[in-house]
Amino acid sequence: MNILKIAFKNLNRQKRRSILLLIAVAFAFLVVVFMDGMTAGALKSMTGEIAKVVGGHVYIIGAQKAADKDDDDESLKTLNREEIDLIDGIVKQTGIETEYVIKRMRNNGKLIFEGKEASSQIDGCDFENEKFLHDSILFKEGSWEGMKKENALLISETTAKVLNAGLHDVVLYETETASGQLTVAELQIEGIAVDRSAFGGITNYINFEYARTISQLPEGVVEMYALFLKNPDMQEVLAGKIEKELAKSAEVIDRELAKKTSPSNPGSYMFSQLDEGKWDGTKYGVVTFSDFAPQIATLMRTLQFISFGVLAALLLITMIGISNTFKIIVHERKGEIGTMRSCGVGRGSIRALFIAEASFLSIIGAAAGFVLALIVMQIFALIPIAKDSSFAVFTKNGHFTWILSFTPVVIKFLTVWILTLLTVAGSASRAANMVPAEALRTGK
């Protein structure tokens, strides 16, 4: 007896009932796949936007401590030309694929304008070469042309409001040199950037050479070396490779130890380790974007758990409907079951027949839900989002993106199928255990 063929014909006999059950399964699967795909895409876009602002996916920091410094004194965190060449060689040797490498100055201080102050992190950048920075910043006022001025300052819209300052205003920047001496510099606002998200005001920017002058560092020295990776998901693996290679010739902070010691913020812990103790030469730290924002990975896992919860809730409602439907089906087919059993069809085949019908419902329904989810997500991805929209941080190039991982989708697919089988198992067993004569008599 061809169980699958008969099961498929049985579903066609009650098309309306079968279609309703298929729609229920498809809807549940569509909702969960849509949630997974869109949230994963939004999170990846958001982390990408933040990485553009803060400067990359993998950061290599060098620290030196003079002989007259104590164990707890702050180190000088710079990289000279020789150290940069070493890192460049390691990146090339390990075959790391990067969008580009950035080398910046970075310090913290206060911007002051007409009695108002704003704490600020300022990066010294080579604006002509940092293409990603161009893509991530939307000017409210000013332009990149204006940023060619030696002491030009690009600030966020939030910072401008705090200072009550406008385009071309001259502000004071109170900070410290690399050696820890207080200094004040004059900066002229030549650009005000739109805050496209809550992260828009994290960093303000000036020209690299002017920042080096403020820090009083020699030519060829940088304070920040970072990599923008072609595949950001590989940042942990690649950071480990760089750390391993650096450790062959210098002291390096242990990333794994940092994660165990400070799981909530391993990046900050590694920075503190660069100040502790005394050593000769340069001590290195290799930090990833995830080390500074482990909460994003936690958020992703939480969203996956939520999607499973939503799937469970929707399936509970769907499975109740399927269970009741199959109880009715078994009752309606008593005569058929009695006839089949009288003709020598075994209990196992009867049970398999109902299990096959349920399998068709779950597989076809889940597959339809998956295809519909792909269509809906692609429609969302075609909707243009304004760059100054509050949703812009969750987009890539002005459009929402979606990402689906193979394993979670398969797990959810199997979950739907297994739960459907468990739901109809009782009805299938009752059908299989019917006494043929009694089934024929009551089925008339």
State how far the Cα of 66 lies from the Cα of 69, in Å rounded to an integer.
6
Can you read off the two tokens belonging to residue 307? 């999607």
* Mean pLDDT score of the chain: 84
Report the percentage of the chain scoring pLDDT > 70: 91
Helix (H, G, I), strand (E, B) or coil at 205: strand
Q: List CB contacts of 278: < 8 A, sequence separation 6 or more.
A: 65, 69, 71
Geometric angle at alpha carbon 359, from 358 and 362, rounded to 5°: 85
Confidence of residue 174 (pLDDT cuts 50, 70, 90): very high
In sequence order, the 6+-apart residues with CB closer than 8 A to the CB of 375 are none
Residue 187 binned pLDDT confidence (cut-offs 50, 70, 90): very high
Residue bearing tokens 């006839």: 339
Torsional sign, CA 48, 50, 52, 55: negative
Q: What is the per-residue pLDDT across 132-165, written as a single tens digit (0 to 9) for each?
A: 778 778 888 999 999 999 999 999 888 999 999 9
pLDDT in tens, 367-393: 999 999 999 999 998 988 776 666 776
Joined together, the tokens standing for residue 392 give 């812009």
Residues 279, 64: Cα–Cα separation, whole Å: 8
Helices 235-246 and 81-93: angle between axes, nearest 10 degrees: 120
The model's pTM is: 0.68
- Is the pLDDT score of 258 beyond 60? yes
The pLDDT assigned to 82 comes to 92
- In percent, how much of the chain has pLDDT > 90? 25
> What pLDDT sits at residue 185?
94
Two tokens at 256?
A: 């794994």
Q: Where are the alpha helices (DSSP H) in 227-332?
A: 235-246, 255-261, 266-273, 289-292, 294-332
End-to-end Cα, the chain, rounded Å: 24
Q: pLDDT digit string (tens) for 209-248?
A: 999 999 999 998 999 899 988 888 888 889 889 999 999 9
110: left (phi over 0), alpha (psi -120 to 50) or beta: beta
In the prediction, which pLDDT does 225 show? 92
pLDDT of residue 355: 86
The answer to whether 215 touches 107, Cβ cutoff 8 Å, is yes
Tokens read off for 4: 């699958």
Mean pLDDT of 27-35: 87
> Sign (positive/negative) of CA torsion 30, 233, 265, 158?
negative
- Rounded Cα–Cα distance for residues 226 and 291 (Å): 14
Q: How far is CA 435 from CA 93, 339, 425, in A?
A: 75, 11, 18
φ, ψ for residue 383 (rounded to 5)? -75, 120
pLDDT value for 76: 87
How far is residue 36's CA from residue 275's CA, in Å, rounded to a whole number? 42
> In the prediction, which pLDDT does 54 show?
67
Half-sphere exposure of 91 (CA within 13 A, CB side): 22
- Sort residue 55 into left (φ over 0), alpha (ψ -120 to 50) or beta: left
Residues forming a β-bridge with 118: 111
pLDDT surpasses 90 at 127: no
Q: Average pLDDT, stretch 115-121?
A: 89
- Residue 234, burial from CB neighbour count under 10 angstroms (0-12, 13-18, 19+): middle
pLDDT of residue 271: 82
Angstrom distance (rounded) from CA 64 to CA 19: 71
Q: What is the pLDDT of residue 74?
A: 84
Residue 147's pLDDT is 93
Rounded mean pLDDT, 422-429: 84
DSSP assignment of 93-117 equals HTT--EEEEEEEEEEEEEEEETTEE
pLDDT at 370: 94
pLDDT of residue 326: 81
**Confidence grade of residue 8 (pLDDT, cut at 50, 70, 90):** confident
Q: Take residue 182 and report the two structure tokens written for it.
A: 């207080």
Cα(366)–Cα(374) distance, integer angstroms: 12
